[in-house]
Amino acid sequence: MTLSGIPLATSDLQVGDGGRKNSTMICAPLMADSVDQMLIQMRKAKELGADLVEVRIDSLKNFSSQRDLEILVKQCPLPTLVTYRPTWEGGQYDGDETSRQTALRLAMELGADYIDVELKVADEFYNSIKGKKPEKVKIIVSSHNYQNTPSIEEIGNLVARIQATGADIVKIATTALDITDSARIFQVLVHSQVPTIGIVMGERGLISRILCAKFGGFLTFGSLDEGVVSAPGQPTIKDLLELYNFRQIGADTKVHGVIGKPIGHSKSPHLYNAAFKSVKFNGIYLPLLVDSVANFLNTYSSPDFVGYSYTIPHKADGLKCCDEIDPIAKEIGAISCMIRRPNDGKLMGYNVDYLGAIGAIEEALGGSQGSVSPLSGKLFVVIGAGGAGKALAYGGMEKGARVVVANRTYEKAKELANKVGGEAITLAELEDFHPEEGMILANTTSVGMKPKTDLTPLSKKALSYYSLVFDAIYTPKWTRLLQEAQESGAKVVFGTEMFINQAFVQFERFTGLPAPKALIRETLAKNT
Ligand code: NAP
């Protein structure tokens, strides 16, 4: 199932929506032990910018239906969705069904705006409210699948069954085993005749929670605080509004992202979304937890999925999926950036990693003298032979340095060294490698990256032979390697510099506009 060529939902917005580009609401699920706590949460949800709250009655201890519901529904500063989720549908309520449905009916009579009823009991519930449902109350008939996301045919049947109950709003929540699972839910959102909530749970389903605004979803859920979620993979309201600019996502918004695994640590969404917003570019940039690059690209082949950054471990796989590759990326055997060419949809691959890193190292060495790089003639040791390693080694070669590659897998070091006319050594040999003073070191492995910040790829003792040390890692900014290099008297160059310089280049390729450099620097500083 692909998203190519499907019509996008048009927004149906009221005048006075403050520049919103979609009508998808943000709903804050409230999970509290007590009514008092829930009232505090309601006020917080409003302050944070939610459009409505989901009152999860099943989270309350000692729930007394009449009194508690009256307080919650009447005192809520936002529209209310009342949910009383039983354990058989993934909730916390394990009491008898009659009392549960009685409480839901009461919530309806008390003026709740939406009532969530599970598909399994929807007919029974509808029979019990025949002729009694207040006009303003909307019934959401929901189905939750905590195992997987079924095929498009099965989801289609499920939607039909939900619609047949008379549901005002359809809700389908499934579980992502792969990022491509969300595409089937997007299909449903686009084609559904009835307002529909379509959410794919789990980290691999994150895009469903954000792009539902593009595809016409009725609402998305946003948590009040990080880590306090009612379902796996839920973003915070703050992230939806500030990081992903949720209100500005429209049917015509162009989708970008960083493809990697893992990807949760990436700062790229902060940078690009802030930069897109600052120049009013109609684009979104997402963290994309991808298992198979080919599957991802084949599934999200619509012209609106336009630009990607590539990171570990997908840079070489990304290259294999390009229609055209720039010569440096081809030499390196890895891409860091992919653009869908607007006129023919062809996927173009680039490697811009080396531009950023080499530029930053040259600057720290005092800059070029005319056309001569300060790297020229220097002994340049690159640890790692992956995507970043190749970029640095090729960059060093281009600038006239004598390149030495050290890598855990020696064969890869040998292969890369041969290509750049350098020398290969093992990591063990690197410890005692000091043919001369004033060497330059570039770490391009992930050793020392968050969360394993106590690790370092080279001992402090060995660092004393280097005059400058660069670390490609940018989370954290001060890696153990850089701290120890500074203590040993070497100049240090942060991975953030490589990141920032290549971000400028990628921004320009994504948007065709000049990069807002100061803003990108500021955003990165705030988020590291
Ligand atoms: P990659 O292609 O997967 O390469 C990883 C490299 O690290 C390989 O050489 C691998 O050795 C080595 N390695 C991994 N774990 C190791 C360990 N435990 N001990 C020793 N060596 C190990 O990844 P990449 O894309 O080049 O990225 C590498 C690092 O650079 C990451 O930390 C990434 O965040 C960073 N990076 C930063 C920027 C930036 O803008 N600052 C840009 C790109 C990448 P084997 O060959 O033996 O597997």
* DSSP notation for 338-379: EEE-TTT--EEEE--HHHHHHHHHHHHTT--BTTB-TTTT-E
Nearest CA to ligand 1 atom 11: 408
Write the burial class of residue 246 (CB in 10 Å: 0-12 exposed, 13-18 middle, 19+ buried): buried
Residue 388 CA, ligand 1 centroid: distance in Å: 7
28, 41 contact by CB (below 8 A): yes
Amino acid at 306: V
Average pLDDT value for residue range 325-348: 93
Residue of 278, 237, 182, 257 lying closest to 27 (CA atoms): 237
Instruction: Choose one of 261, 263, 446, 450 to mutate for the ligand 1 pocket test, by most ligand atoms within 8 angstroms of C-beta.
Output: 446
Residue of 433, 498, 499, 426 lying closest to 465 (CA atoms): 433
Residue 444 CA, ligand 1 centroid: distance in Å: 5
Q: How far apart are CA 480 and CA 496, in angstroms?
A: 15
pLDDT in tens, 41-66: 999 999 999 999 999 999 999 999 89
10: confidence class by pLDDT, cuts 50, 70, 90: very low
Nearest CA to ligand 1 atom 46: 409
pLDDT in tens, 220-235: 999 999 888 888 889 9
Determine if the peptide bond prior to 451 is cis (ω within 30°): yes
Say whether 270-351+501-526 and 25-252 share the same fold. no
Residue 258 CA, ligand 1 centroid: distance in Å: 16
**Every domain of the chain and the residues it spans:** 25-252, 270-351+501-526, 366-493
**Residue 3 confidence (pLDDT) above 60:** no
**Residue 69 confidence (pLDDT) above 50:** yes
Q: How far apart are CA 495 and CA 199, in angstroms?
A: 36
- Predicted pLDDT at 286: 98
Q: Annotated catalytic residue: which of 21, 214, 267, 315?
A: 315
Q: What mean pLDDT, rounded, does the chain reach? A: 94
17: confidence class by pLDDT, cuts 50, 70, 90: low
Average pLDDT value for residue range 369-391: 94
Amino acid at 366: G
CATH class of the domain whose range is 366-493: alpha beta
Nearest CA to ligand 1 atom 28: 445
What does DSSP say about strands 324-325 and 423-426: parallel, antiparallel, or unpaired? Answer: unpaired
Average pLDDT value for residue range 15-40: 89
Computed on alpha carbons and rounded to an integer, the radius of gyration of the chain in Å comes to 27
Q: How far apart are CA 59 and CA 76, in angstroms?
A: 17
Q: How far apart are CA 12 and CA 115, in angstroms?
A: 23
- Angle (nearest 5°) at CA 316 between 310 and 321: 80
pLDDT in tens, 262-294: 999 899 999 999 999 999 999 999 999 999 999
pLDDT in tens, 107-152: 999 999 999 999 999 999 999 999 999 999 999 999 999 999 999 9
- Predicted pLDDT at 230: 81
Q: Which CATH number is associated with domain 25-252?
A: 3.20.20.70
Residue 354 CA, ligand 1 centroid: distance in Å: 14
Query: Which helix (H) or strand (E) element contains residue 502?
Result: helix 495-511
Average pLDDT value for residue range 89-117: 97
344, 369 contact by CB (below 8 A): no
Query: Which helix (H) or strand (E) element contains residue 415?
Result: helix 410-419
Residue 329 CA, ligand 1 centroid: distance in Å: 17
- Predicted pLDDT at 13: 46
176, 200 contact by CB (below 8 A): yes
353: confidence class by pLDDT, cuts 50, 70, 90: confident
**Residue 176 confidence (pLDDT) above 70:** yes
18: confidence class by pLDDT, cuts 50, 70, 90: low
Active site residue 46: no
Average pLDDT value for residue range 67-85: 98
357: confidence class by pLDDT, cuts 50, 70, 90: very high
Active site residue 144: yes
Instruction: Choose one of 444, 482, 521, 528 to mutate for the ligand 1 pocket test, by most ligand atoms within 8 angstroms of C-beta.
Output: 444
Tabulate helix, strand, coil % of the chain (nearest 5). Answer: 40, 20, 40
Pocket of ligand 1 (CB under 6 A): 311-313, 315, 353, 356, 384-389, 407-409, 412, 444-447, 449, 472-474, 495, 498-499, 502
Tally of helices (H runs) and strands (E runs) in the chain? 20, 20
Residue 446 CA, ligand 1 centroid: distance in Å: 4
**Residue 5 confidence (pLDDT) above 50:** no
pLDDT in tens, 242-253: 999 999 999 999
pLDDT in tens, 436-488: 999 999 999 999 999 999 999 999 999 999 999 999 999 999 999 999 999 99
User: Angle formed by the axes of helices 387-398 and 410-419, to 10°?
Assistant: 30
Residue 449 CA, ligand 1 centroid: distance in Å: 10
Q: Annotated catalytic residue: which of 21, 138, 171, 378?
A: 171
pLDDT in tens, 302-323: 999 999 999 989 999 999 999 9
- What is the secondary structure of 171-228 as a DSSP string? EEEEE-SSTTHHHHHHHHHHH-SS-EEEEEESGGGHHHHHHHHHHT-SEEE-BSSTT-
- Predicted pLDDT at 368: 85
Determine if the peptide bond prior to 235 is cis (ω within 30°): no
Q: Looking at the CA of residue 336, tell me the nearest atom of ligand 1.
A: 43
Q: Looking at the CA of residue 389, tell me the nearest atom of ligand 1.
A: 26
Q: How far apart are CA 181 and CA 144, in angstroms?
A: 15
Nearest CA to ligand 1 atom 21: 408
**Residue 528 confidence (pLDDT) above 80:** no
Instruction: Choose one of 293, 394, 445 to mutate for the ligand 1 pocket test, by most ligand atoms within 8 angstroms of C-beta.
Output: 445
In CATH terms, the fold of domain 270-351+501-526 is: Rossmann fold (3.40.50)
Three-state DSSP at 244 gives coil
Nearest CA to ligand 1 atom 22: 445
Query: Which helix (H) or strand (E) element contains residue 139?
Result: strand 138-144
pTM given for the model: 0.86
Three-state DSSP at 263 gives coil
Q: How far apart are CA 439 and CA 502, in angstroms?
A: 25
